């Protein structure tokens, strides 16, 4: 704890602020100027639809290219992120709290309906879709969040390479599967438009802090544990982890894609047959006929697989999959409350058809 506090010197905080501010600014400007497919969001309360520019994949690849070039030509080393980890975390928190306050006052000035308690309003947010210079802030936040997560992961790899002269098998495995996961996320960025956060949640501290602090700094903890962990990993364990990751990935991506494809075209074929939906609304084909939240199950498997690369030296990296399991259980419950209110008897019929939430025959 003392070394953490000692690292928060004015000099280190200034370097961290320059790194963090530069990174967010780079992504924000790039979000404005880099071309991308334009897509309409779901209808809003007033019947209009918001336009989104989906250039996240280009931003992600641009960041990868710039950092890879910087590393290769020795302009700077990404391990600087590891060196300034605590100051960066402090700066990210200051940023998230400041942004929350600005958004709160912006909503108040716009005259939106408030809950009345400023802390609750700041926590849940005052506006559904705050927008600056044409950039939707809620959709944008996924970029510093997930690209930031990638950058911190890669920084731990760079630091290991500098310390050991090579990457361990565990680190290779972790980096490859995480890279595939993040690339795939941006490849299917359009799917975010139909998620609950984008459709229904205001942009307040809960999402701001989650995107700018929690995801990049907390989700990368396994990489930190891999940094100095040189014990080799037997081939059979590597194969087993790869299989767990791949099955989870197919489940998570397959489930989400089936729903997106059905919503875009109700006549779509799923597993070779025309999609079947209760009341023409609730999909019961494919994974959605087996469980109501198998996308959560698949994502949990993916996170568990890469956390297992850290072995059993510490419980700390496992806090992430455990926390996700709690988050998903709570989220599934909240979402089902919402669906039950929205679909009424149809939702009960769906529950009778797809009996399980996340684990067939168990839960």
For ligand NDP, the binding residues (CB under 6 A) are: 195-196, 252, 256, 259, 282-283, 288, 295-296, 299, 331, 335, 338-339, 342, 350
CB of 303 to ligand NDP, least distance (A): 7
Task: Return the H-helix or E-strand segment holding 277.
Answer: strand 277-278
Q: Among residues 48 and 195, whose Cβ is nearest to ligand NDP?
A: 195
Q: How far is the CB of 342 from ligand NDP (least distance, A)?
A: 6
Q: Which is nearer to ligand NDP, 25 or 264 (CB)?
A: 264
Longest C-alpha distance within the chain, in Å?
A: 63
Would you say 51 and 177 are in contact if contact means Cβ atoms under 8 Å apart?
A: no
If the CB atoms of residues 182 and 233 are measured against ligand NDP, the closer one turns out to be 182
Pick 121 or 299: Cβ nearer ligand NDP: 299
Distance, CA of 142 to CA of 160 (rounded, Å) = 27
CB of 155 to ligand NDP, least distance (A): 20
Residue of 183, 211, 163, 150 lying closest to 58 (CA atoms): 183
β-pair partners for 50: none
Half-sphere exposure (Cβ direction) of 108: Cα atoms closer than 13 Å: 13
**CA distance readout (Å), 255 to 102, 260, 324, 354:** 37, 9, 18, 14
Kindly state the smallest distance separating residue 362's Cβ from ligand NDP, in Å.
18
Alpha carbons 16 and 80: distance in angstroms, whole number: 10
Q: What are the distances in angstroms from CA 98 to CA 92, 93, 149, 225, 344?
A: 10, 8, 21, 31, 41
- Taking the complex as a whole, the smallest distance from the CB of residue 215 to ligand NDP amounts, in Å, to 7
Instruction: State the nearest-atom distance from the C-beta of 10 to ligand NDP, in Å.
Output: 34
Determine the 3-state secondary structure of 167 from DSSP.
coil
Q: Which is nearer to ligand NDP, 34 or 39 (CB)?
A: 39
Q: How far is the CB of 295 from ligand NDP (least distance, A)?
A: 4
User: In this complex, which beta carbon is closest to ligand NDP, that of residue 104 or of residue 350?
Assistant: 350
Residue number with CB closer to ligand NDP (247 or 335): 335
What is the rounded radius of gyration, in angstroms, for the C-alpha atoms of the chain?
Answer: 21
């Amino acid at each position: 704890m003392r070394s953490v506090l000692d690292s928060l010197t004015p000099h280190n905080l200034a370097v961290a602020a320059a790194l963090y501010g530069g990174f967010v600014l780079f992504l924000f400007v790039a979000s404005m100027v880099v071309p991308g497919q334009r897509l309409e969001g779901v209808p809003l309360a007033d019947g209009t639809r918001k336009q989104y520019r989906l250039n996240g994949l280009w931003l992600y690849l641009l960041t990868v290219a710039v950092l890879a070039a910087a590393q290769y030509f020795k302009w700077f080393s990404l391990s600087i992120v590891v060196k300034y980890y605590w100051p960066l975390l402090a700066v990210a928190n200051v940023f998230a709290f400041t942004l929350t306050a600005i958004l709160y006052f912006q909503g108040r000035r716009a005259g939106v309906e408030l809950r009345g308690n400023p802390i609750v309003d700041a926590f849940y947010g005052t506006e559904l879709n705050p927008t600056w210079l044409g950039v939707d802030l809620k959709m944008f936040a996924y970029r510093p969040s997930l690209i930031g997560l990638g950058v911190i992961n890669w920084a731990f790899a760079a630091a290991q390479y500098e310390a050991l002269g090579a990457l361990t098998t565990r680190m290779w495995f972790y980096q490859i599967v995480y890279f595939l996961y993040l690339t795939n996320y941006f490849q299917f960025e359009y799917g975010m438009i139909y998620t609950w956060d984008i459709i229904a949640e205001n942009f307040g501290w809960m999402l701001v802090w989650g995107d700018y602090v929690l995801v990049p700094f907390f989700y990368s903890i396994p990489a930190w544990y891999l940094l100095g962990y040189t014990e080799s990993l037997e081939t059979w364990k590597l194969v087993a982890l790869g299989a767990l990751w791949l099955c989870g990935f197919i489940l998570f991506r397959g489930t989400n894609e089936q729903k997106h494809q059905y919503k875009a075209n109700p006549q779509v074929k799923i597993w070779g047959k025309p999609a079947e939906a209760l009341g023409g609304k609730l999909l019961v084909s494919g994974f959605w006929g087996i469980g109501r939240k198998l996308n959560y199950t698949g994502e949990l498997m993916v996170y568990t697989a890469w956390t297992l690369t850290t072995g059993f030296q510490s419980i700390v990296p496992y806090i992430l999959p455990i926390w996700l399991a709690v988050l998903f259980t709570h989220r599934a419950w909240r979402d089902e409350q919402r669906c039950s209110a929205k679909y009424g008897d149809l939702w009960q019929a769906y529950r009778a058809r797809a009996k399980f939430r996340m684990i067939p025959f168990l839960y």
